[in-house]
Amino acid sequence: MKIGRRTNPALAKGFSEIVSDGTTMTVGGTVTKIVIFLAVLAVCFAYSWLNIPYSSGVMIGVSLVTFIVALITTFSPKICQFTGIIYAGLEGLFLGSLSKLFDRMFPGIVLPAVLLTFVCVLVTLAIYGKNPSIADRTRKGVMIGLITICITSLIGVVLSFFGVILPIYQNGPIGIIFSLAVVILATLCLMQDYDYILRAARSGAPKYMEWYGAFSLMVTLIWLYVEILNLLAQISNSRD
């Protein structure tokens, strides 16, 4: 089963567009905000897992709404403390229902996906902490990768209307390799998020950017989890 590719729209906001309001962003404050977002996501995930059956129509609708909320947040980061909570809640509902569906198809797949996501967070934190310059060295490659995925996904959607499915979206070695590449790209994006938060705090960004920095990191974490779930499903399929 395939899941739509997701990328992080939040990092499109440049520092030149941030207007100071007399308050100052801190890394510690951002960590607190990401914990709040993830707590809301986890509660909604659990509720959805226990109570909401998967419906492709409903989930597509939820995905569209979350995408709109993400765009609003990107263009209006000052309201992120409100839109970010809405985004976290909706994504929790979506991921809980989707994960339950995958767990029925591939029993036991969800826990490894969650654990691997957190492993990626810890590993990238350790790497970035020891060598922050890695974010600068990989930034151009990450952007090229994101643009490539977006264009490829668009082509894939168009071709699907004519009954053509690209090999990268099919089960098999090519599909697994492509999914692995996307997981690696999403993991590298985590370091871009860390760097964005650190640079914003050092530049004296206003306090509301703590919510925005936490939001951008949450978007990447969700994307990474979905891609890991997709990769594990493809690997399971290849064994059948």
In a domain, residue 160? The reply is yes
How far apart (Å, rounded) are the C-alpha atoms in residues 12 and 22?
23
pLDDT in tens, 144-198: 998 998 898 889 888 888 888 888 777 788 888 988 999 999 999 999 999 999 9
> Residue 144: which domain range?
10-239
* Longest alpha-carbon distance in the chain: 59
In a domain, residue 1? The reply is no
How far apart (Å, rounded) are the C-alpha atoms in residues 75 and 52?
31
In a domain, residue 5? The reply is no
Q: What is the pTM of this model?
A: 0.88
Q: What's the total number of domains in the chain?
A: 1
In a domain, residue 2? The reply is no
pLDDT in tens, 45-103: 999 999 887 777 778 888 899 999 999 999 999 999 999 999 999 999 999 999 999 99
The confidence score (pLDDT) of residue 11 equals: 52
